[in-house]
Amino acid sequence: SRPCPECWSRGGARAEPGGGGRQSPPPGPKCTYTFIVPQQKFTGAVCWSSVRAAPEPPGPNRSETRALREALDWQQAELRRLRGLVEVDGALVSEVKALRKESRAMHARVSQLYTQLLHEILQRRQRPGLLAQLEGRVANASAQATQLATSYHRLELRYQALAALVNNQSALIVRLERQCQPGLAGPLNKMPTPFPLLPGASPPPTKPPYSLNLPLLPAPLPSPQLDWEFLTGRGETSPWRDCLEARRGGHETSGVYEVQPADAGPSLQVWCEQEYEGGGWTVIQRRQDGSINFFTTWHHYQHGFGDLAGEHWLGLENTRRVTGQGPGPYALRVLLEDWAGHQACAHYDRFALGPESDAYRLRLGRYHGSAGDSLGWHDAHPFSTLDRDHDAYAGSCAHYQKGGWWYNACAHSNLNGLWYKGGHYRSRYQDGVYWAEFRGGAYSLRKVVMMVRPAPDA
């Protein structure tokens, strides 16, 4: 017998290295029986052993495998789901982060805008204050400019007055020098002629010929202009009722005279023009150098103001007394001269004033002359001043025309207006010294005289 190759392989025997299996069988179980089988069916030996081989461990069955596979699938699905969730969470987190970042940026922007707004509000609150400050400054500057203009005007007037005073004094010196020369003594060398206030009465105390009792407003500025040929007189005093009576009494020099109108009132001093057209004229108004302010009140227009030898207004009451004393009417002569030396005159054959209660209403006769009739429109109108409005205009003519006059609504003549240098003047209103029919309302005349004399048939 020989060893069975099946047993060896089935029994776990191993072949030795380098040795043939059949030649050197390893020790192991020995066959008990030997069977001879026909050749045709088996080519090798058949070996049978009573020792059973250890059973193979049982493998997993199908159901378990399925269950396991299902569990695995479920776990994988769960894993995927979790991964998805994690991914979603990650996106959310980054989104939240982005939102937070955006929120911070928004917050910063809002803070910035808030600060800006606050700044603007503060600026706006300050702006009205600045505007008011500027307005205040402008108003102050305007007021200062007005003040300066007023001061300048005053200074100019003062300068003119002083210049006139210097001229006056020069003339006075010349006259005094003449008086000192023997043989040239004129009427001024004599003492003023004593005169009775009433016929037959004793002579009053003598007065210097140029002493004036008129209320002078503003400050008296004596400025006689001796260059106007018909106003070159010297002072006299007289007991006459007016200048014409003095002239007829032989007093042929122009100057200040004391006259006594035929009423019971006191005597008054007037400037008598004794050389122009036969003399005998009582001057009631004169403008020639702007030295006197004619934009004044009723009181001054009523009682007179200025300098008899220069610019003055005799006064409504005095004029009324002179022209109303009878026996006949008085005539008015207005002399005008422009800045080129052209002269013109206006004559009214009757001139009278109403009583104070009627605001010295104007009564004029017929006009003739070379200047044109610029007073006829004012006939029958009461007198108005800056503080007494009796004119026919809704507003105050005296206020606009800067004088006192028998304003209608308002004026064709304004001889008591502002005295402008040079003729044509620029002003908001027609407030110069003008006679519209002579040089128009926008031309301020250089010289003006208003004077009265008994009408020829008196």
CA dist., res. 143 & res. 429, Å (int) = 21
What residues form DSSP beta bridges with 286? 312, 449
338 vs 389, beta carbon nearer Ca ion: 389
Please, what is the minimum distance in Å from the beta carbon of residue 379 to Ca ion? 18
Positive or negative: CA dihedral 183, 189, 191, 196? positive
Q: Could you tell me the smallest distance in angstroms from the CB atom of residue 323 to Ca ion?
A: 26
* Site residues (vs Ca ion, CB under 5 A): 389, 391, 393
CB closer to Ca ion, 393 vs 429:
393
CB 398 to Ca ion: min, Å? 9
Q: How many CB atoms lie within 10 A of CB 286?
A: 29
Q: How far apart are CA 449 and CA 285, in angstroms?
A: 6
Shortest gap between Cβ of 389 and Ca ion (angstroms)?
4
Per DSSP, which regions of 338-410 are E strands?
A: 343-353, 362-364, 367-369
- Quote the least distance from Cβ 382 to Ca ion, whole Å: 11
Shortest spacing between CB 214 and Ca ion, in angstroms: 28
Distance of closest approach, residue 393 Cβ to Ca ion, in angstroms: 5
Residue 385 or 413 having the CB closest to Ca ion: 385
Enumerate residues 6+ apart whose C-beta is below 8 A from 429.
Answer: 400, 401, 402
What CA–CA distances, in Å, run from 380 to 83, 392, 407?
120, 11, 10
Tell me how far apart the alpha carbons of residues 309 and 279 are, in angstroms, rounded to a whole number.
16
Considering beta carbons, is residue 258 or 391 the nearer one to Ca ion?
391
Burial of 445 (0-12, 13-18, 19+ CB in 10 A): buried
Measured CA angle at 316 (ends 311, 322), to 5 deg:
95
**Parallel, antiparallel, or unpaired: how do β-strands 255-259 and 281-287 relate?**
unpaired
Nearer to Ca ion, 333 or 381 (CB): 381
Given the complex with Ca ion, which of 349 and 389 has the nearer CB atom?
389
For Ca ion, give the closer residue by CB, 379 or 389: 389
> Tokens 């003119």, residue?
160
User: Of the two residues 377 and 393, which places its CB atom closer to Ca ion in the complex?
Assistant: 393
Q: Which residue has the tokens 């009465």?
A: 201
Q: How far is the CB of 391 from Ca ion (least distance, A)?
A: 4
